[in-house]
Amino acid sequence: MSITANWSYPTAIKFGAGRIKELADHCKSVGMKKPLLVTDRGLASMPITQGALDVLEAAGLGRAIFADVDPNPNDVNLAAGVKAFKDGGHDGVIAFGGGSGLDLGKAVAFMAGQTRPVWDFEDIGDWWTRASVEGIAPIIAVPTTAGTGSEVGRASVITNSETHTKKVIFHPKFLPAVTICDPELTVGMPKAITAGTGMDAFAHCLEAYSSPFYHPMSAGIALEGMRLVKEYLPRAFKDGTDIEARANMMSAAAMGAVAFQKGLGAIHSLSHPVGALYNTHHGTTNAVVMPAVLAFNRPAIEEKIAAAAAYLGISGGFDGFADYVVSLRAELGIPEKLSALGVGTDRIDEMAAMAIVDPTAGGNPVELTLDAAKALFHETI
């Protein structure tokens, strides 16, 4: 393990119930006079979205919205969003929603200033330095779920509509200038989405904590993020109007994304191909494979997980922690097998080949070989 790393930490976060009312003030503080709110189709007509547009309009900032965004945002959505941004003469983006609205909004703000194709900025080496910085529009992020953490991240996941592969597009300027974390916006989330997105936040914390890279700041944040999920996800699941629980899950989600600068691992490596081929819910898929990956990683992380269990108030060390994950999953109504999400065994070879080259595989504490990935799919489907 090397004690050398490049660290950065996130942005101005305006946290608290009802703080969406400050949206126009924050637009003005970053120089936006004519913002474009980017969200997904499902959210476009929802009261929380219309409420945000009302705040903008009342402050003389208009109520422009672009919502032609698929659940897995792609390059076609992106081109249409950039066109809407330019045609409307906008000067900033409000990225609003779950992962899809946030990721596409951030990408629109970035691509508004570029002449090269978006794939030239994939998160490979120093490709991000190819970008022209001047034309990148400011971003305000407003999450409406508690899981992705994209509101504090410097990347977006965009699907290539020709190859059907998901690409991570990275630039430091993807980091929103301001993030408004208003837990009231998450109150209307359906139970299954609360469960799935919450388990995504837990997976981010668990995998970041377990990765072998040296990043003690992130390790600490990951540990406290797991504690918040343990205490508050069951409450948010049982009673969606429990604002204290919703708020703490929103914190846990942001903390998970901050923490995973330290790396992710095989939970995500397995989950990504499953999602790409079967369109399953990302966080739910993570939760299904989590116990098997935990057991697979045991030789490398047994002591670390025992320490986490002690911090979380779980007795029994590693075994106690593993039992806790299984019981949490059951409490949230998440199935034990991927077959319950519609995944078959016929594409295991293909998915295993995708898993071992997934960018997250390098952060797994035990090497994810092709045989190991196949075995994990056989075990979890």
Note the residues at the interface with Fe ion (CB under 5 A): 200
Q: How near is the Cβ of 270 to Fe ion at its closest, in Å?
A: 12
297: its two tokens: 């990683």
CA distance 145 to 233: 13
Contact of 273 with 191, CB cutoff 8 Å: no
- Tell me the closest approach of the beta carbon of residue 330 to Fe ion, in angstroms: 21
Assigned token pair, 24:
């126009």
Query: In this complex, which beta carbon is closest to Fe ion, that of residue 184 or of residue 200?
Result: 200
Q: Which is nearer to Fe ion, 92 or 275 (CB)?
A: 275
Rounded to a whole number of angstroms, the minimum distance from the CB of residue 150 to Fe ion is 10
Going from the C-alpha of 55 to that of each of 22, 189, 191, 330, the distances in angstroms are 8, 22, 28, 40
State the nearest-atom distance from the C-beta of 302 to Fe ion, in Å.
24
Task: Decide whether 64 or 351 has the Cβ nearer to Fe ion.
Answer: 351
Q: What is the nearest approach in angstroms of Fe ion to the Cβ of residue 190?
A: 19
Handedness of CA 317, 323, 328, 329 (dihedral sign): positive
Select 103 or 184, whichever has its Cβ closest to Fe ion: 103
Helix 282-312 to helix 370-380 angle (10° resolution) is: 100
Which strands form 65-66's sheet, in the order they lie side by side? 12-15, 178-181, 139-143, 92-97, 35-38, 65-66
Helix/strand/coil for 187: coil
In the complex, what is the shortest distance from the CB of residue 310 to Fe ion, in angstroms, rounded to a whole number?
26
DSSP state of 88: T
Residue 200 beta carbon to Fe ion: minimum distance, rounded to whole angstroms:
4
| Residue nearest to Fe ion according to CB distances in the complex | 200
> CB-wise, 40 or 200, nearer to Fe ion?
200
In the bound state with Fe ion, the residue whose beta carbon lies nearer, of 70 and 319, is 70
145 burial type by CB count under 10 A (0-12 exposed, 13-18 middle, 19+ buried): buried
Q: 97 or 138, CB closer to Fe ion?
A: 97
Q: How far is the CB of 47 from Fe ion (least distance, A)?
A: 27
DSSP letter string, 188-220: T--HHHHHHHHHHHHHHHHHHHHSSS--HHHHH
Neighbours of 342 (CB within 10 A): 10
Comparing CA positions, the residue from 51, 338, 337 lying closest to residue 187 is 51
Cβ-based nearer residue to Fe ion, 76 or 357:
357
